[in-house]
Chain A
């Protein structure tokens, strides 16, 4: 048997061997490949060198943001939040903050990712800019300017649910450059000591700093992709629906933003698809909802809180 033929046959056997593990719930392909390749070596189907080749080729492509643990995501989120607060000041109003957290945390528990390492927390930023940022792990920031676009609790809920959607879909982590991620995850995989020594710590800190830079640049300057924004709108509609908020909250918000956003400003106009494009996409999914229904109890508490914006 030629080497090439032997290797391709071995790969076939490996796939066969991997299949039950994938079905049995092995989380990653490389995990299945590892077990499969080891079995193949033990039974003589593969030489150890061939098995290693197959294992490495599967592994090399599979270092992704998915390997970031919720605990690490938490530290990333804190740093992203602290960086955003280097550029914007918090709006310190206890009653408004309490209300926004009531709406936001109630929405978060209806999302597909209700539990994160450090939980969801919401802060109002003291700026007239129309803007919002979601740091990985659930630290969410909304500007006074964006709150002013909301005409009811359902519209505010839509904005917060959109940001929760970005957290749930881990869009922030996806903004980290893959080379950086691979380097960081490789360092982590090799390290046994309880605390990091000088060289590892310097390398990890460099990659951490770079990762925060990648995410903040995406949040503040370049924006997510259009499809990620539409996905977050879709997640928002699901969350709103589960909790009994009107989907018209989202369309009403987008209509208001359309009237207020000015092209060229360093806010949502720069980092998001136009409200028109988002409206088209949302309406394609839910049709044209009627006007946003104003539930009297929700409107009263919303108006009370928004007086303070």
Chain B
């Protein structure tokens, strides 16, 4: 292999990296939680101003620590979400063959409702009728609201920031 050829590869690699960086500027993020709570300020103690659905796509318009101010693509800012609620992968709700191929090869796509899903849970429950899913469903409804959490922190002399910045 001659030097010219190696130089060509290096050049190609640099160009591709530059293209990837450019693409990142327009990046879309997918909501990877069931109820994507958007808050007025970057804190879990802040009021919920909107709730996005699983797989909804957003752009990030500002970052503050682990918080992201998000907007709908080409839309106005909605508010703040914690980074752990967002995935860099595009989450596809109704996957076609090309999405499945992309998910399997590039890892840039995640398939919603695939793999261990409601259908598998139903099949599993049919085989294991002794399991207690009623109490699990009940448990999932126990949600502490931001105002309760704020009061709990204040009254207990805990960190006023509500933990993590």
Flag if B116 contacts A208 (CB, 8 Å).
yes
Return the chain B residue nearest A69 by Cβ.
B110
Q: Which among B56-64, B70-78, B137-145 touches the partner chain?
A: B137-145
Flag if B116 contacts A184 (CB, 8 Å).
yes
Residues of A within 8 A of B17 (CB): 20-21, 23-24
* CA gap between A249 and B108 in the complex, in Å: 42
Return the chain B residue nearest A123 by Cβ.
B139
Flag if B156 contacts A153 (CB, 8 Å).
yes
Return the chain A residue nearest B149 by Cβ.
A106
* CA gap between A20 and B34 in the complex, in Å: 34
Instruction: Pick the contact of A209: B87, B96, B124, B130 (CB < 8 A).
Output: B124
As a 0/1 sequence over residues 93 to 115 of chain A, the CB contacts with chain B under 8 angstroms (1 = contact) are 00001100111011101111111
List B144-163 residues whose CB lies under 8 Å from chain A: 144, 148-149, 152-153, 155-159, 162-163
* CA gap between A184 and B124 in the complex, in Å: 15
Residues of B within 8 A of A31 (CB): 106-108
Residues of B within 8 A of A295 (CB): 156-157
As a 0/1 sequence over residues 7 to 38 of chain A, the CB contacts with chain B under 8 angstroms (1 = contact) are 00100010011011101111110110011000
Residues of B within 8 A of A145 (CB): none
* CA gap between A33 and B142 in the complex, in Å: 44
Number of interface residues of B (CB under 8 A): 77
Return the chain B residue nearest A111 by Cβ.
B164
* CA gap between A35 and B140 in the complex, in Å: 41
Residues of B within 8 A of A30 (CB): 107
* CA gap between A189 and B117 in the complex, in Å: 14
Does A309 sit at the interface, judged by CB under 8 A? Answer: no
Instruction: Pick the contact of B14: A20, A74, A189 (CB < 8 A).
Output: A20
Flag if A196 contacts B157 (CB, 8 Å).
no
In the assembled complex, how far is the CB of residue B38 from the closest CB belonging to chain A, in whole angstroms? 12
Does A273 sit at the interface, judged by CB under 8 A? Answer: no
* CA gap between A257 and B21 in the complex, in Å: 52
As a 0/1 sequence over residues 69 to 100 of chain A, the CB contacts with chain B under 8 angstroms (1 = contact) are 11110111011011101100010000001100
Residues of B within 8 A of A169 (CB): none
Flag if A208 contacts B152 (CB, 8 Å).
no
Given contacts A209-B124, A244-B158, contact A101 B132 (CB under 8 A): no
List B30-73 residues whose CB lies under 8 Å from chain A: 32-35, 44, 54
Flag if B142 contacts A122 (CB, 8 Å).
yes
| Most chain A CB inside 10 Å of its own CB: which residue of B88, B119, B148, B162 | B119
Given contacts A76-B116, A105-B149, A242-B163, contact A118 B140 (CB under 8 A): yes
Given contacts A82-B136, A192-B96, A201-B123, contact A106 B153 (CB under 8 A): yes
Return the chain A residue nearest B45 by Cβ.
A109
Flag if A114 contacts B82 (CB, 8 Å).
yes
Residues of A within 8 A of B96 (CB): 192
| Most chain B CB inside 10 Å of its own CB: which residue of A70, A90, A185 | A70
In the assembled complex, how far is the CB of residue A280 from the closest CB belonging to chain B, in whole angstroms? 28
Given contacts A69-B115, A71-B117, A190-B100, 8 further A-B contacts (CB under 8 A): A75-B121, A81-B139, A83-B131, A85-B131, A86-B131, A102-B148, A114-B82, A205-B124
List 21 A-B pairs, Cβ < 8 Å.
Answer: A24-B24, A25-B24, A72-B117, A75-B121, A79-B121, A82-B133, A82-B135, A102-B152, A103-B152, A106-B144, A106-B158, A109-B162, A114-B84, A192-B95, A192-B97, A204-B115, A211-B116, A212-B124, A295-B156, A295-B157, A297-B155
Contact surface of B with A, Cβ cutoff 8 Å: 1, 5-6, 8-10, 12-14, 16-17, 20-21, 24, 32-35, 44, 54, 82, 84-85, 87-89, 91, 94-97, 100, 103-108, 110-121, 123-124, 127-128, 130-133, 135-136, 139-140, 142-144, 148-149, 152-153, 155-159, 162-164
